[in-house]
Amino acid sequence: MSKLPEYLASFCLAQESDFGAEVDAICALDQLCGQSLQYWEIVYVVGEYHRLGIQALAGKLATIKNLRIVIVRDATSYYRRRVIAASEAIGDVIVLTAFNEMSKADIIAFAKEAMADNRIVIGRNMESRWLFPTFHWILGLISRYRVDARDLKTIAVPRNRLVGILARPTAAIDLRFEPKRGIDPYVRRPVRLSNSVGEAGLKRRLELLVEIISTSAARFLAAYAFASLIVSIISACYGVYAVAVIFTLDNIQPGWFSTAIAQSGSVTFLALGLAVIALGIANIVDRMDGGPHDAIIDEIGNISFYERVHDLNVEITSRVHKVAE
C-alpha cells in the first residue's frame, strides 16, 4: 500500500462498550497506520467513567503512537462525542469510524480518496438486512437528510470540508448522513458488514433519532404552523356555516348557535396564535448556533509525529565560510 508522506490523517473513534477490547482494536489500528502512513493520529473520545480504566492500561496505551484520549462528560451522547473527536482532530483528512466497522472498511483507502479527490467518502453496507424502508422514508421526508440505514458511521472528510460542517449546529447528523441540499460532494464506497443490533445498537439508533428530530426542529415547527393554519381555516368555515344555518333554518336547538360561534372563534384564535408562535420559534431555531460547549473535561496525549524523521528543512553545504576579520 502506498505511503502518504504529505498528509496527516486523523482517525477518530468514540467509546462504545468494553474499554479494554476497544484499546486492543486501537492497537491494531495503530499497527495498520504504521504500515500504510507516515503521519497519523488516533483520537479516542471516552466518558469520565473510564478514568480508572485509562490508569489501569496506561502501559499499553503508552505503546500506541500518536494517540490522543479526550475525556468528556458521561452524559455526552455518542454522536456528540463524534463531533468532539472531529473538532479535536488536527489532520488534513479526518476519518470517523466505529469499532465494528473499521476492521471491515478500508479506512486507509477512505482517507486517501477523500484527500486526493477533496470529497466526503461514506461507507455503505452491502449486506444490510435490518431495514424498515417506511420508517427511514418518513425520517428522510421530515428531515433535511438522505436517511438510509445502509449508510455506515465510517466517513472520511477533508479538512476544508470539515471546517464548514463543524460550523453548523447540525454537525452530528452531517457527519452521519448526506444533506439533501448540501454543497459538499459525497461519495459512497461499498463495505460488507453483517448486521447485529444489540442493546447498544438500539441505544445508538434512538440517539440518532433524537438528533434527527432536534436538528429538524425548524421543519417540524413549520409543519405544525401549517397544520394550525389549516385548522384555523376549517374553524372559521364552521363559524360561517353556523351563521348560514341561523339564517336559513328555523328548527335549531336553543344554544347551538352560540356554542358553535364560541367554538369556532376560540379554535380559530388559538390555531392562528399557535401558527404564529411556531413560525417564530422555527425562525429562532434556524438562527441558533450549536457546539460541544463544555463537554470536554481532560485530554491525554501521546503525540510524537517527528521522532523518527531526520529530514531538515534547510540546505547543508560542505563549504566553510570564514568570518572576515
The pLDDT value given to residue 309: 56
Q: Tell me which H or E stretch contains 153.
A: strand 151-158
Amino acid at 128: S
Residue ranges of the chain whose pLDDT lies below 50:
1-4, 197-199, 289-293, 316-325
C-alpha span between 207 and 115 (Å, rounded): 30
The three-state secondary structure class of 310 is coil
The pLDDT value given to residue 273: 85
DSSP letter for 130, please. Answer: -
The pLDDT value given to residue 27: 92
Number of residues assigned to the chain: 325
Spans of all domains in the chain:
8-216+290-302, 218-287
The pLDDT value given to residue 302: 67
The CATH architecture assigned to 8-216+290-302 reads: Alpha-Beta Complex (3.90)
Q: Tell me which H or E stretch contains 232.
A: helix 217-248
DSSP structure string for 157-217: EEHHHHHHHHTSTTHHHHTTS-BTT-SS-EEEEEE-------HHHHHHHHHHHHHHHHHTH
The pLDDT value given to residue 323: 43
**In the chain, helix, strand, coil percent, each to 5?**
50, 15, 35
Among left, alpha and beta (phi > 0; psi -120 to 50; other), residue 242 is alpha
The pLDDT value given to residue 197: 47
Q: What does each C-alpha distance from 240 to 65, 124, 245, 271 come to in angstroms?
A: 76, 56, 9, 17
Q: What does each C-alpha distance from 88 to 24, 82, 187, 298, 299 come to in angstroms?
A: 22, 10, 24, 12, 10
The pLDDT value given to residue 95: 95
